[in-house]
Amino acid sequence: MERLKVRTGEREELKDITGEIERIIEKKGWKDYEGNSDAHIKASLTGSSLLLMVEGGRLRLGRWQRVFFAEFDGPRQREVWISFLPSQRCPG
């Protein structure tokens, strides 16, 4: 299971986040047959999609924000799908 998130780009913050997720949701003791229940739980807690703004061909993020990919059941081959929605300005 994998997830995309927007967070600040600090490497230490990302280590803290992933470390806490690993600490809270351990790999052992789950009642499943596939052996990757922890990955499913981690993925459900972190979300499964992002809605991001693109303006002038560039991704609009805050000064310190970055998009990162979290892999909870790998490594393995993954696909990231990107769709662009038309924008409309509201009158007024």
CATH number of the domain bearing residue 53: 2.60.120.460
Comparison of pLDDT for 5 and 88, the residue scoring more: 88
φ, ψ of residue 50 in degrees (nearest 5):
-130, 150
Query: 80, 24, 31: which is closest to 52 by C-alpha?
Result: 80
Is residue 76 one of the residues assigned to a domain? Answer: no
Mean pLDDT for the chain overall: 80
In a domain, 84, yes or no: no
Contact 32, 77 (CB under 8 A): no
Query: Is residue 92 assigned to a domain?
Result: no
Residue 2 has pLDDT above 50, yes or no: no
Q: Stretch 77-86: mean pLDDT, rounded?
A: 88
Instruction: Note the pLDDT tens digit of each residue in 6-48.
Output: 666 677 887 888 888 888 887 777 777 677 888 888 888 887 7
- Count CA atoms within 13 Å of residue 33 on its CB side: 0
Tens digits of residue pLDDT in 41-75 = 888 888 778 888 888 889 898 887 888 888 888 88
